[in-house]
């Protein structure tokens, strides 16, 4: 069995967040707080401090949570916090559309009509995330998420050990196709992540990438510990490449 090592320069920069229900709940709370502050100038640090002062997320530390998911919102063009910024202008038009959609999803009833509306709102939510990803591709094309997208395009599915091995291959100067071909011949057992101090560390960044692709309606989990593309994937990939 072979073990391979991925260094910090290769795996850093992957956001430690997706757009889970918990994150969406926190986004709504932040949005309401910023609107309440109104057209006053604020900084990113002051935003975190104000959320902490209000105990905005209950037992969850507000500063830590915001530092975790706000960079992703920025990459998706949901927020813009170039300092200083007006509190009620932190969320972009795309971000406000996302907020309105997740707020509507939260306030649905349990009747049959609501179920139809829920499916429609979920599709709208997915499309907004896809728009954010298109922006992210233009502005952050080196993000490790795009390696996962390329593997999905090549194979139609992904085992996340393949994704990690492609990061390892990048360290060796290999293309994604070369890494995948080599992995077919290797008996890969496990992966180790190493930080700047050459210390072994845990890393689950690939799980956030997986969830984000699923939340965008581009992928779905299978029972075989694989992620599969959905019918939306190929059209999205064409848009990425300007087709």
Report which of residues 1 and 128 the model is more confident about: 128
- Pairwise CA distance, residues 234 & 149, whole Å: 10
pLDDT of residue 1: 54
- What DSSP character marks residue 111? S
Give me the chain's average pLDDT, please.
90
What sign has the CA pseudo-torsion 139, 33, 85, 97? Answer: positive
Q: What pairs with residue 192 in β-bridges?
A: 5
- What DSSP character marks residue 5? E
- Pairwise CA distance, residues 125 & 105, whole Å: 9
Give the C-alpha distances (Å, rounded to integers) separating 116 from 60, 77, 110, 113, 152.
33, 29, 10, 5, 30
Averaged pLDDT, 121-146: 95
Is pLDDT at 13 greater than 80 in this prediction?
no
Which of 57-61, 90-94, 131-135 shows the lowest per-residue confidence on average (mean pLDDT)?
A: 57-61
pLDDT of residue 135: 97
Is pLDDT at 14 greater than 80 in this prediction?
no
Assign 204 a pLDDT band (cuts: 50, 70, 90). low
Considering the domain 2-15+143-240 in this protein, what is its CATH number? 1.10.10
* Sheet (strand 157-158) strand order: 157-158, 227-229, 219-221
Query: Phi first, then psi: what are they for 216, rounded to 5°?
Result: -85, 0
Which of 32-41, 76-85, 182-191, 212-221 shows the lowest per-residue confidence on average (mean pLDDT)?
A: 182-191
pTM of the model: 0.92
């Amino acid at each position: 069995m072979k073990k391979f090592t991925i260094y910090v320069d290769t795996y850093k920069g992957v956001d430690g967040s997706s757009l889970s229900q918990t994150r969406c709940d926190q986004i709504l709370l932040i949005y309401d707080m910023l609107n309440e502050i109104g057209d006053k100038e604020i900084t990113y640090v002051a935003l975190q401090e104000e959320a902490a002062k209000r105990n905005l997320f209950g037992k969850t530390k507000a500063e830590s949570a915001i530092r975790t998911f706000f960079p992703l919102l920025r990459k998706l063009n949901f927020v813009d916090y170039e300092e200083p910024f007006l509190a009620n202008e932190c969320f972009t038009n795309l971000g406000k559309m996302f907020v309105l959609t997740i707020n509507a999803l939260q306030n649905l009833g349990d009747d049959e009509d609501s179920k139809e509306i829920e499916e429609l709102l979920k599709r709208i939510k997915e499309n907004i995330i896809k728009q954010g990803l298109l922006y992210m591709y233009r502005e952050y094309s080196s993000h490790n998420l795009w390696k996962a997208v390329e593997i999905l395009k090549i194979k139609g599915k992904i085992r996340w050990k393949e994704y990690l091995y492609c990061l390892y291959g990048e360290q060796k100067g290999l293309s994604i196709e070369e890494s995948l071909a080599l992995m077919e011949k290797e008996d890969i057992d496990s992966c180790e992540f190493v930080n700047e101090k050459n210390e072994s560390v845990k890393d689950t960044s690939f799980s956030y990438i997986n969830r984000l692709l699923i939340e965008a309606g581009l992928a779905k989990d299978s029972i075989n510990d694989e992620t599969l593309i959905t019918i939306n994937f190929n059209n999205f990939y064409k848009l990425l490449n300007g087709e």
